[in-house]
Amino acid sequence: MTIIKSTWILILPAAAAAICFGQGSISGKILTAAGNGAAIPNAPVQAKNLATQEISKAASASDGSYALSGLAPGAYEISVENVTFFLPFHQSGVQVADGKTRRLDIRLDDFQLNTLGDSGEQFVAAFADKPTPPGPAPRTSDGKPDLSGVWDPAIPKALGEAPQPLPSAEAAAKQRGKRGRITDLAEEACLPGGFSRSPIGYRIVQTPSLLVILDGGFNPDRQIYLDGREHPKEFNLSWMGHSIGH
């Protein structure tokens, strides 16, 4: 019995070594190309083995770090795509060696090509997940919800699934994409995107008969009439249109 136990003790480490042998990894951070390099979270990154076409996937953490492990030795193509407001990244010929970790930091250009004051760092800060304010919703004197205050466009993401666009809006977005746009955003076509799509904070001023949205210069001010009126049959068209609500 002693001989059998000794044999198993010798075999197990050898088997473990065989399993680990011949694998490597790629790790690093996904950052903005502009400025000091802000971390980009939730960015999908993949490594494709150029010899076998096998694909490994991962996503960046809140600090931008990612890790692709269990990679066979060889050359890989690293890619990051479908990150809102950022251009795709591709790098081919990244070598992975036996039992080694290859460091590869990835810097993404934003679709504004790092315009000063309107670059990737601002996009990351504006759309980062932020906690929903605690406590009951504020109310006006007549008991209706009071929307007055400064709003952050990232907060609605924490409240659940985003509302789906109307068929007409979805068709318009697809049409913009066919024109060679990098994204389907109305702003990229120099059209007003609506306060919910603004990448910066905005202020809402609410009265019993009128709600005004001040968009920080990103879009013109929007007035929403709350007094029960209908859209006029004839009126002078404006950049933000004619809005009514309740």
Closest CA to 84 of 190, 157, 160: 157
CATH 3.30.230.10 fits 24-128, yes or no: no
The domain locations on the chain are 24-128, 129-163+194-244
Give the total residue count for the chain.
246
In this structure, what token pair is assigned to residue 225? Answer: 């009439």
Tracing tokens 């490994």 back to the chain, one arrives at 56
Residue where the block lists tokens 């001989």: 3
Per the DSSP assignment, residues forming a β-bridge with 244 are: 225
Q: Can you tell me the mean pLDDT for 194-208?
A: 73
Confidence of residue 85 (pLDDT cuts 50, 70, 90): confident
- What is the tens place of the pLDDT at every residue in 18-48? 344 569 999 999 999 877 788 999 899 999 9
pLDDT band at 63 (very low <50, low <70, confident <90, very high): very high
Distance CA 41, CA 63 (A): 6
- pLDDT, tens digit (0-9, with 9 covering 90-100), for 139-164: 988 888 999 998 876 544 444 556 67
